[in-house]
């Protein structure tokens, strides 16, 4: 960030830094491609060993524990003082044989080597050395004024009571804004697709390819594009929190709470990242040194409501939660959305608290965080992030949704045996006898054909298991298909209701089709009870193959992914069952 340093009048003595640190330093500005050729040249010199540097320690590591370091270096003559310290601290995690492990352990005992004290001393000495180098090589104009502003703001935002209240207010405003800002573009996209489907249904001939286009491809596309505004706005607002420096404060604030449930402040960033996507969030847990805390973080991160759940929540909230206002200005739908996200967060902490008693470890951990100064957000960065995340959603999630939508169209449009042919003949005869009821009979015919398709047969098989939760067989199919990716739920419902409505159906949006859906007894499918039950199911269920694959890779075992599937699915079923039975 040398360009920003120059703008703010910071003077950096590069030659002095090289001398103090003992490494080559290259000034770069990647945004304008400055310094990159020089950087390549220095890398080449280092790789060819043309640039010899004296070997030295950043701090006097030997004097942290002189006797212990000396004895370890007798066992390993070729290692540095720094390596000796880390052999003493981390030898249990290193690939040494039993005899070597015993020798290092005896060195620890003989010299009364204290892990906690040595680590703390090393950290304090490093920061002292950094401060000394900064004083010699960096000149900053009036740093006191900037420091005082940041400290005054931190006195409020990091207050032991007000800090948590402010955090809740920030989250509240975040979800209110997502609903409020995304409403108009979402309505416009939904309206456009419904009218396009209606127009194509009237101009295209009756054929399998026109049905595939309208009820397969366009239905799948509408399920993708309608939620792009919310995805972009959510990531834009999260980028604002990161750019201003507040995201680091969230980690600091929650460290104390995290420790009570077996985690620490380092677990916060993977958990916050989990609101975007669990896959990179679980990978980012690698920077948690403590094995137990890293494993606990991996186990609970999928409980964070990722962006893939956002389309599901949005659709269901719009269906079953009225557009009312609390206190005259607070959106009730936005409050419910915030409640779903907090529900996942609270349950993650509960699961971590329970799991910490089953995962044994005596390893201690420390959380050290350098809080950045507050700065104005870079609006260009916010916009670029919004566009990038929207593209990723459309290309990555969109591919999965489209493929499953097309497969589902095939399963919904064809069926076993001759039953579908018989149904078509029966309804054709009824239309001839009662031409005035053609529209009603066509709807009944499409519904009967869908029930007798491959998809319908599959849904009917699993319906008894999900009926106590308030779901019908169509929702059951969506639960199965969304295991590929949670957002596939919307594409599945769009395809099923489009096939059921037929090519010549009214110009209805997906929301209108789902709102008018009825059970065989005439009751609405999406009531407050069934809608809340379904939202809770998606808060807790492990509905993502990619997440399971990354957990397998990070833990190098199928044990933990299997545990995740069972505990999250069981949790989702029980909590959804309770919610439905209480609200129905």
Q: Do 529 and 466 belong to one domain?
A: yes
Q: What residue numbers bound the domain in which 136 lies?
A: 61-141
Q: Does residue 184 fall inside a structural domain? A: no
Q: Does residue 576 fall inside a structural domain? A: yes
CB atoms within 10 A of CB 254: 22
208 falls in which pLDDT band (50, 70, 90)? low
Q: Quick one: three-class SS letters along 196-222? A: HHHHHHHHCCCCHHHHHHHHHHHHHHH
397 falls in which pLDDT band (50, 70, 90)? low
Q: Does residue 128 fall inside a structural domain? A: yes
Q: How far is CA 389 from CA 69, 176, 315, 498, in A?
A: 49, 20, 20, 28
**Of 295 and 171, the one with more pLDDT:** 295
Q: Do 530 and 413 belong to one domain?
A: yes
pLDDT in tens, 36-45: 999 999 999 8
At residue 257, the pLDDT reads 79
Of 122, 141, 160, the residue at which a domain comes to its end is: 141
Nearest to 166 by CA among 76, 253, 284, 67: 253
User: Do 385 and 232 meet the contact criterion of CB atoms below 8 Å apart?
Assistant: no
Q: For the chain, what is the domain count?
A: 3
Q: Do 78 and 37 belong to one domain?
A: no
Q: What is the mean pLDDT of residues 84-95?
A: 87
Q: What is the mean pLDDT of residues 231-242?
A: 81
Give the H/E segment covering residue 257. helix 246-260
Q: How far is CA 325 from CA 121, 177, 535, in A?
A: 55, 14, 21
At residue 570, the pLDDT reads 93
Q: Does residue 83 fall inside a structural domain? A: yes
At residue 214, the pLDDT reads 66
pTM, full prediction: 0.65
Asked if residue 501 has pLDDT above 80, the reply is no
Q: Does residue 306 fall inside a structural domain? A: no
User: Do 124 and 54 meet the contact criterion of CB atoms below 8 Å apart?
Assistant: no
Asked if residue 323 has pLDDT above 60, the reply is yes
Q: Does residue 536 fall inside a structural domain? A: yes
Give the H/E segment covering residue 429. helix 419-433
Give dist(CA 49, CA 43) in Å, integer: 10
Give dist(CA 286, CA 297) in Å, integer: 10
At residue 474, the pLDDT reads 84
235-239, 521-525, 554-558, 565-569 — which one is most confidently predicted on average?
Answer: 565-569
Q: Do 411 and 521 belong to one domain?
A: yes
Q: Does residue 157 fall inside a structural domain? A: no
Q: Do 123 and 216 belong to one domain?
A: no
Q: Do 14 and 121 belong to one domain?
A: no
Q: What is the mean pLDDT of residues 165-171?
A: 85
Q: Does residue 293 fall inside a structural domain? A: no
Q: What is the mean pLDDT of residues 409-429?
A: 73
Write phi, then psi, for 373 (nearest 5 degrees). Answer: -70, 155
Of 98, 117, 141, the residue at which a domain comes to its end is: 141
Nearest to 208 by CA among 507, 412, 491: 412
Quote the Cα angle for 458-310-524, to 5°.
Answer: 50
Quote the Cα angle for 82-119-93, to 5°.
Answer: 70
Q: Do 100 and 74 belong to one domain?
A: yes
Question: Of 108-122, 484-498, 510-524, which range is least confident?
Answer: 484-498
Nearest to 103 by CA among 68, 79, 78: 68
Q: Do 444 and 577 belong to one domain?
A: yes
Of 141, 162, 185, the residue at which a domain comes to its end is: 141
Q: What is the mean pLDDT of residues 24-37?
A: 84
* pLDDT, averaged across the chain: 81
Place of tokens 């599901």: 312
Q: Do 11 and 95 belong to one domain?
A: no
Strand partners, 331: 325
207 falls in which pLDDT band (50, 70, 90)? low
Q: Do 417 and 491 belong to one domain?
A: yes
Q: What is the mean pLDDT of residues 169-197?
A: 76
Question: Of 36-45, 86-95, 423-432, which range is least confident?
Answer: 423-432
User: Do 134 and 11 meet the contact criterion of CB atoms below 8 Å apart?
Assistant: no
Q: Do 111 and 6 belong to one domain?
A: no
Q: Do 69 and 214 belong to one domain?
A: no
Write phi, then psi, for 579 (nearest 5 degrees). Answer: -60, -45
At residue 293, the pLDDT reads 85
Q: Is the dihedral of CA 173, 174, 175, 180 positive or negative?
A: positive
At residue 504, the pLDDT reads 46
Tokens of 411: 């399963």
442 falls in which pLDDT band (50, 70, 90)? low
Asked if residue 580 has pLDDT above 90, the reply is yes
Q: How far is CA 514 from CA 469, 501, 530, in A?
A: 18, 11, 13
């Amino acid at each position: 960030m040398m360009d920003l340093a120059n703008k703010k009048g910071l003077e950096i003595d590069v030659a002095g830094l090289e001398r103090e640190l003992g490494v080559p330093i290259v000034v770069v500005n990647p945004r304008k491609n400055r310094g990159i050729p020089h950087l390549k040249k220095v890398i080449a010199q280092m790789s060819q060993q043309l640039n010899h540097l004296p070997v030295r320690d950043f701090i006097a590591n030997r004097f942290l524990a002189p006797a212990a370091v000396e004895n370890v270096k007798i066992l390993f003559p070729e290692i540095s003082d720094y390596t000796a310290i880390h052999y003493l601290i981390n030898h249990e995690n290193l690939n040494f044989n039993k005899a070597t492990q015993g020798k290092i352990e005896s060195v620890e005992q003989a010299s009364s080597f204290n892990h906690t004290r040595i680590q703390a001393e090393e950290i304090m000495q490093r920061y002292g050395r950094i401060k000394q180098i900064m004083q010699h090589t960096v000149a900053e104009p009036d740093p006191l004024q900037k420091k005082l502003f940041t400290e005054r703001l931190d006195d409020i935002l990091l207050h032991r009571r007000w800090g948590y209240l402010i955090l809740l207010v920030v989250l509240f405003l975040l979800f209110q804004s997502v609903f409020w800002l995304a409403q108009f573009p979402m309505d416009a996209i939904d309206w456009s697709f419904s009218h396009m489907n209606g127009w194509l249904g009237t101009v295209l001939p009756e054929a399998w390819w026109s049905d595939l286009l309208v009820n397969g491809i366009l239905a799948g596309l509408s399920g993708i594009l309608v939620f792009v505004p919310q995805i972009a706005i959510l990531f834009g607002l999260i980028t604002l929190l990161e750019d201003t420096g507040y995201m680091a404060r969230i980690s600091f604030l929650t460290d104390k709470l995290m420790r009570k449930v077996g985690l620490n402040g380092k677990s916060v960033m993977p958990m916050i990242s989990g609101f975007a996507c669990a896959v990179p969030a679980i990978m980012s847990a690698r920077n948690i040194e403590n094995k137990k805390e890293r494993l606990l973080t991996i186990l609970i991160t999928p409980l964070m409501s990722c962006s893939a759940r956002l389309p599901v929540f949005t659709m269901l909230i719009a269906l079953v939660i009225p557009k009312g206002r609390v206190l005259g200005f607070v959106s009730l739908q936005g409050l419910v959305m915030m409640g779903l996200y907090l529900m996942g967060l609270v349950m993650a902490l509960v699961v971590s608290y329970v799991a910490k008693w089953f995962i044994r470890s005596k390893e201690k951990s420390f959380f050290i965080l350098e809080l950045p100064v507050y700065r104005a957000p870079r609006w260009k960065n916010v916009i670029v992030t919004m566009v990038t995340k929207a593209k990723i959603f459309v290309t990555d999630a969109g591919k999965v949704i489209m493929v499953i939508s097309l497969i589902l169209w095939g399963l919904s449009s064809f069926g076993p045996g001759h039953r579908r042919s018989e149904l078509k003949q029966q309804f054709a005869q009824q239309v001839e006898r009662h031409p005035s009821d053609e529209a009603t009979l066509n709807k009944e015919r499409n519904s009967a054909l869908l029930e007798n398709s491959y998809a319908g047969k599959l849904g009917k098989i699993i319906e008894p298991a999900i009926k106590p939760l308030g779901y019908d067989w169509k929702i059951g199919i969506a639960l199965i298909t969304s295991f590929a990716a949670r957002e596939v739920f919307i594409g599945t419902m769009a395809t099923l209701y489009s096939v059921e409505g037929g090519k010549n159906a009214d110009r209805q949006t997906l929301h209108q089709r789902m709102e008018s859906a009825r059970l065989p007894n005439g009751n609405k499918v999406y009531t407050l009870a069934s809608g809340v039950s379904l939202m809770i199911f998606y808060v807790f269920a492990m509905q993502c193959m990619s997440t399971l694959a990354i957990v397998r890779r990070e833990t190098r075992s199928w044990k933990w992914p299997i545990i995740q599937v069972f505990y999250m699915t069981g949790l989702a079923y029980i909590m959804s069952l309770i919610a439905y039975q209480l609200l129905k």
